[in-house]
Amino acid sequence: MDYRVIALDLDGTLLTPEKTILPASLTALQNARKSGAKVVIVTGRHHVAIHPFYQALALDTPAICCNGALLYDYQEKKVLASDPLQPEQANRLIDLLDSHNVHGLMYADDVMIYQEVTGHITRTENWAKSLPESQRPTFRQVKSFREAAHEVGSIWKFALTDTDIEKLQNFTQIVEREMGIACEWSWHDQVDVAQSGNSKGKRLAQWVESQGLSMSQVIAFGDNFNDLSMLKSAGLGVAMGNAADEIKACADLVIGSNTESGIAEVVNQYFEHVPAQEVM
């Protein structure tokens, strides 16, 4: 098959548990780009939280962020396409969060906003502090999500976390039933709430078509439920070994975990090898 695009989820897929990219993956992806492949990040993260990985990969493609809520051009530092939550949707969701005592992050414009400190927020902020200042995402704690929602331009998604998984599961059912917007699990204890219709697969397909290509020419790598839309629609959908069984069942291929060299092996199999000294 004439694969031309490599689509990569980050957390649990390209990234190790230490939030690094394996050297073998970096080399394989550099070789693939040298041979003409387009490499694109497709993530649930905010675009402000992928700088170190985008730069490590030396990409020139736009990034698909917040589970497809937006397509971001790092070269021009602008949003190319997006489907954010509408103000009335955000306000209604904030009402539900308050009434059910559920906490999380609001991904807006170029900042991540929170009311209450949670383990997820502490871990993410600690990771951010380990980065060079130029690569650090911006966090802001506020007294009121509602006030903050009125001050920002676009709200891409809410990332909700709770140690009580059953509580989180019940809350997502309420949101889906009462609001009709999308809830996708992106980690074992995180649900992302965004505009209905957004997905990694949909936004990826739009971008791929804009390049004069088709999804049959895409190899997509993922590990969680928010990756299913692109794994199912790609020419080759690859699930990580650390993925849940439901994800593996929907993939064309299952490889090793995100601490192993499976991504490099698949990329090297389908793209012409370039000697190390020729890789830019």
pTM over the 0.85 mark = yes
State which fold the 5-82+198-278 domain adopts. Answer: Rossmann fold (3.40.50)
Sorted by where each begins, the domain ranges of the chain are 5-82+198-278, 87-194
Nearest to 108 by CA among 136, 135, 133, 139: 139
Report how far apart, in Å, the C-alpha atoms of 135 and of each of 47, 100, 127, 196, 213 are.
11, 35, 11, 30, 32
Q: Cα–Cα–Cα angle for 58, 11, 248, nearest 5°?
A: 115
In total, the chain counts a number of residues equal to: 280
The pLDDT value given to residue 97: 95
Let me know if the fold of 5-82+198-278 is the same as that of 87-194: no
- CATH fold of 87-194, please? 3.30.1240
pLDDT confidence of residue 146: 94
Contact of 116 with 141, CB cutoff 8 Å: no
Low-confidence residues of the chain, pLDDT below 50? 274-280
9 is catalytic: yes
Indicate which residue of 2, 9, 162, 192 is catalytic.
9
